[in-house]
Amino acid sequence: MSESKFSAFEIEVDQPSRMPLLDKVRQPYRDGDKQAYIDLYSGDSEIARKHRRAVQRKRLAMRGRGKLTPEELEAEDNDLLVALTAGWDLVITDVPFSQEAARELYLNKKIPHIREQVEEFVFDRTNFSKASSDN
């Protein structure tokens, strides 16, 4: 594929970027010298676009059959965050990465600071500049 005539403006949306995982007081979770992280795709990535199209198809198919509930909207938002999660090293727990584990992590109401960090990170385009993709 040829280079876009707008390539000077491009950011790396389809490569995961590493988000340091911070505790509720914004200090890194650590185990010795190792710091916890979550690898995430951008909210502008093809993964995000495919997820949004699937949600829109589902909604269009439902038209006339009922209204969306707040719980369904929340689940859709959570499913997007799960889809954008590429991996992790949580360092203080040995929970291996899986989409189901990510879903459980982001839905856990006792650790909202983690979901909040993920939401902020995936929609902040500065986290996906060509320079930050070298992580």
The string of pLDDT tens digits covering residues 124-135 is 999 997 644 444
Is residue 64's pLDDT more than 80? no
Q: What are residue 17's phi and psi, to 5 degrees?
A: -120, 150
Nearest to 17 by CA among 37, 47, 2, 1: 37
The string of pLDDT tens digits covering residues 96-119 is 999 999 999 999 999 999 999 999
pLDDT score, position 63: 75
Average pLDDT over residues 61-80: 84
Is residue 48 within 8 A of residue 80, CB to CB? The reply is yes
**Residue ranges per domain, the chain?**
15-134
pTM of the model: 0.86
pLDDT score, position 133: 41
Average pLDDT over residues 33-59: 95
